[in-house]
């Protein structure tokens, strides 16, 4: 991969600033968890798995700052750190998944000296990073088998290397299919309001030499109706126990269109995106972001001053519209309450 979404340099975290893509490739360094939290809420880094991995390194950085007096004291001092990181973005469950995993690791170190706890938390964050890439590669290979040898795939938002520690989920499936010798063309929805499809998906696929055609969100229905699209393939921010899927706003209408036109609708996500504590999609918290993201582009108004705006960042696709959920442990098919549980049980917890 010719770029790094995030990289750990031993004493600092380096993030590719995604707010500046595709215009500029700028890497920013973070040595403090507060800066990391701002990077997540400001979407310097975004995409559910990438947010989780970044938060883990935020905790590793906080441990360096707060850990000198032993693990027990560190655990106490980390509580507000967890709160700060968890408050950044509510929908992607990978964030709380990673924070809880780091918390468990820290609590398991009680009684150990500070230096040991600091190192152990760094090692844990690195493990989360490595496991994310490995999960993406594995789910990519499994998902690639669902695609025909020549396939046109429609995707929404960015569920690629930029949204993960590397390789991607939905785009990981595309990459694995290409690596397996399949001819894949990607149709990338622009993804209003922040244009993750245009700015990020198109950028990273062009970087890899994978054919990509950009369309605005409102063109997807016409394109699906004309035929020749073999699959809709998206990522997820949180999957409820019943298989309902929260993903970037605009995913739900795409699932309705896919169903209408008989096109399979696949969701690719690691097991860390499944939240069994949430019964169904109606319980998933949906982030609402500033109306300025809708009324302005690059600081230029595109709507009259004073208009009221609703800007939910995600929507929920009902499980009934999802043909399959591709995970690193296997491919789940309806009914998801059973199939997702079986996959999670078959995969040993880290």
The catalytic site residues sit at 237
Q: Taking the CB of residue 162, how many other CB atoms lie within 10 A of it? A: 25
- Copy the structure tokens of residue 290: 């500033």
Which three-class secondary structure state does DSSP give residue 197? helix
Q: Is 164 in the site for ligand MRU (CB under 6 A)?
A: yes
Q: Which of 47, 58, 90, 143 binds ligand MRU (CB under 6 A)?
A: 47
Q: Which is nearer to ligand MRU, 64 or 192 (CB)?
A: 192
C-alpha dist (Å) from residue 110 to 102, 113, 321: 13, 8, 46
Nearest distance from C-beta of residue 249 to ligand MRU, angstroms: 8
Nearest distance from C-beta of residue 51 to ligand MRU, angstroms: 7
Q: How many angstroms separate the first and last alpha carbons of the chain? A: 26
In the shown chain, the binding pattern of residues 138 to 157 toward ligand MRU, with x for contact by CB under 6 A and - for none, equals -------------------x
Window contacting ligand MRU (CB under 6 A); options: 45-53, 96-104, 144-152, 222-230 = 45-53
Q: Is 247 in the site for ligand MRU (CB under 6 A)?
A: yes
| DSSP 8-state code for residue 33 | H
Q: How far is Cα 200 from Cα 162, in angstroms, rounded to an integer?
A: 7
Nearest distance from C-beta of residue 227 to ligand MRU, angstroms: 25
Q: Is 237 in the site for ligand MRU (CB under 6 A)?
A: yes
Half-sphere exposure of 145 (CA within 13 A, CB side): 10
155 neighbors 217 (Cβ within 8 angstroms): no
Cβ contacts of residue 348 below 8 Å, gap of 6+? Answer: none
Q: Is 54 in the site for ligand MRU (CB under 6 A)?
A: no
Q: Which is nearer to ligand MRU, 120 or 326 (CB)?
A: 326
Q: Taking the CB of residue 4, how many other CB atoms lie within 10 A of it? A: 14
| Total of chain residues touching ligand MRU, rule CB under 6 A | 17
Q: Which of 15, 146, 163, 284 binds ligand MRU (CB under 6 A)?
A: 163
Q: Is 169 in the site for ligand MRU (CB under 6 A)?
A: yes
Which three-class secondary structure state does DSSP give residue 317? strand
Nearest distance from C-beta of residue 36 to ligand MRU, angstroms: 15
Strands 265-268 and 324-327: parallel
Q: Is 48 in the site for ligand MRU (CB under 6 A)?
A: yes
* Binding to ligand MRU in span 286-315, by CB under 6 A: 313
Q: Is 235 in the site for ligand MRU (CB under 6 A)?
A: yes
For residue 186, what is the enclosing H or E element? Answer: strand 183-189
Q: Which is nearer to ligand MRU, 160 or 241 (CB)?
A: 160
Q: Output the DSSP codes for 205-227.
A: HHHHT--EEEE-GGGHHHHHHTS
Binding site for ligand MRU (CB under 6 A): 46-49, 92, 157, 159, 163-164, 169, 196, 235-237, 247-248, 313
């Amino acid at each position: 991969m010719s770029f790094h979404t995030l990289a750990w340099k031993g004493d600092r975290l380096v993030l590719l600033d995604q707010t500046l893509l595709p215009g500029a490739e700028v890497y920013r360094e973070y040595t403090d968890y507060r800066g990391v939290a701002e990077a997540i809420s400001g979407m310097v880094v975004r995409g559910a798995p990438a947010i989780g991995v970044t938060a883990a390194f935020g905790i590793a950085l906080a441990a360096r700052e707060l850990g000198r007096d032993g693990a027990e004291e560190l655990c106490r001092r980390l509580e507000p750190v967890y709160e700060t990181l968890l408050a950044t973005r509510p929908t992607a469950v990978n964030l709380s998944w990673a924070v809880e995993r780091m918390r468990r690791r820290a609590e398991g170190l009680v009684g150990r000296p500070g230096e040991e706890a600091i190192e152990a938390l760094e090692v844990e964050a690195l493990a989360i990073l490595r496991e994310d890439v490995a999960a993406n590669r594995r789910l990519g290979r499994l998902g690639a088998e669902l695609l025909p040898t020549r396939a046109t795939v429609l995707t929404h938002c960015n569920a690629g290397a930029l949204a993960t520690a590397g390789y991607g989920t939905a785009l990981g499936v595309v990459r694995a299919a290409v690596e397996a010798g399949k001819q894949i063309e990607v149709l990338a929805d622009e993804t209003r309001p922040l244009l993750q499809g245009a700015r990020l998906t198109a950028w990273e696929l062009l970087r890899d030499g994978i054919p990509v055609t950009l369309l605005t969100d409102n063109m997807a229905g016409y394109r699906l109706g004309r035929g020749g699209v073999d699959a809709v393939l998206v990522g997820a921010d949180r999957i409820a126990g019943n298989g309902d899927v929260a993903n970037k706003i605009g995913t739900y209408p795409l699932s309705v269109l896919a169903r209408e036109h008989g096109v399979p609708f696949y969701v690719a996500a690691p097991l860390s995106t499944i939240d069994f504590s949430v019964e169904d999609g109606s319980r998933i918290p949906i982030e609402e972001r500033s109306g300025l993201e809708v009324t302005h582009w690059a600081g230029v108004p595109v709507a009259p001053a004073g208009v009221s705006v609703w800007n939910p960042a995600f929507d929920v696709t009902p499980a009934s519209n999802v043909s399959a959920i591709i995970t690193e442990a296997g491919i789940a098919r309806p009914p998801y309450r059973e199939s997702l549980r079986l996959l999670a049980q078959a995969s040993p917890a880290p």
